[in-house]
């Protein structure tokens, strides 16, 4: 399984890459708008930092517009993945952009049901992104979509990657991994929370205190 960061913030991306566990980035129009950066410039800046897939989303809502934007976005950098919303026009665009000798890598976004994920995969998406947290927000079981998609893809031999998105907490990561998600995309805060355990901090503090005490003792014995 791979971990992507769901952010357009350069400091967060640098830190995640420095820790050695971030293999890609997902952005969306809201995340880029929050940074106040030029879209193309920010995506290229991210591609300079991360050696892995970087999703950049189209903003057109008709198939022709999505295809045009997708064709442009794919030329920005070899690692750029074109993110397309899973609506009927989006499926047409996914099919057109992937069913060609030089297929565009697609991340089908805004998936809230197994059927949407199945359709996106059949249209040719490399990544299908179920939004767990937003389903949980409205009292639905977001993880069930990941679990259903994992089973469907396994039974049917579908090779698209399940990219569990809209994660809100470390336990989402554990459950998505157990369900068979190929990728999880996380806000930076969730990545930080994944590493935290009070017993690790207490344990390290005690190891270091014992070490310091033994060093002091050794010095005293020498004098």
Minimum distance, C-beta of residue 65 to ligand E4P, in the bound complex (Å): 20
Minimum distance, C-beta of residue 127 to ligand E4P, in the bound complex (Å): 9
Residue 130, burial from CB neighbour count under 10 angstroms (0-12, 13-18, 19+): buried
Q: Tell which residue, 77, 80, 25, has the closest CA to residue 58.
A: 80
In the complex with ligand E4P, the residue whose CB is nearer, 63 or 132, is 132
Minimum distance, C-beta of residue 147 to ligand E4P, in the bound complex (Å): 18
Active site residue 34: no
In the complex with ligand E4P, the residue whose CB is nearer, 8 or 67, is 8
Catalytic residue among 34, 83, 95, 178: 83
In the complex with ligand E4P, the residue whose CB is nearer, 123 or 183, is 183
Q: Which residues of the shown chain bind ligand E4P in the complex (CB under 6 A)? A: 6, 26, 28, 109, 129, 131, 133-134, 165-166, 185
In the complex with ligand E4P, the residue whose CB is nearer, 139 or 221, is 139
Q: Tell which residue, 122, 115, 140, has the closest CA to residue 106.
A: 122
Beta bridge partners of 162: 128
CA gap 42, 52 in Å, rounded: 15
- The CA distances from residue 60 to 24, 63, 108, 178, in Å, are 24, 8, 14, 35
DSSP H helices, the chain, are: 10-18, 29-35, 39-49, 63-73, 88-98, 114-123, 132-137, 142-156, 170-179, 188-195, 198-222
Minimum distance, C-beta of residue 83 to ligand E4P, in the bound complex (Å): 7
Catalytic residues: 83
């Amino acid at each position: 399984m791979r971990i992507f960061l769901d952010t357009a913030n350069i400091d967060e991306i640098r830190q995640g890459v420095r820790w050695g566990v971030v293999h890609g980035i997902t952005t969306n129009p809201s995340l880029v708008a929050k940074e106040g950066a030029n879209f193309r410039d920010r995506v290229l800046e991210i591609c300079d930092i991360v050696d892995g897939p970087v999703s950049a989303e189209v903003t057109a809502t008709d198939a022709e517009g999505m295809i045009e934007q997708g064709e442009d976005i794919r030329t920005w950098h070899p690692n750029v993945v074109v993110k397309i919303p899973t609506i009927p026009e989006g499926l047409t665009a996914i099919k057109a952009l992937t069913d060609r000798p030089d297929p565009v890598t697609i991340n089908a976004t805004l998936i809230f049901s197994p059927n949407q994920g199945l359709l996106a995969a059949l249209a040719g998406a490399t990544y299908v992104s179920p939004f767990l947290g937003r389903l949980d927000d409205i009292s639905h079981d977001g993880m069930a979509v990941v679990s259903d998609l994992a089973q469907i893809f396994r039974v049917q031999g579908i090779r698209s990657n399940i990219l569990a998105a809209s994660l809100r907490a470390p336990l989402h990561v554990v459950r998505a991994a157990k369900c068979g998600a190929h990728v999880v995309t996380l806000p930076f805060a969730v990545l930080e929370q994944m590493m935290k355990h009070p017993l690790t901090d207490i344990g390290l503090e005690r190891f270091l205190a014992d070490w310091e005490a033994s060093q002091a003792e050794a010095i005293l014995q020498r004098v």
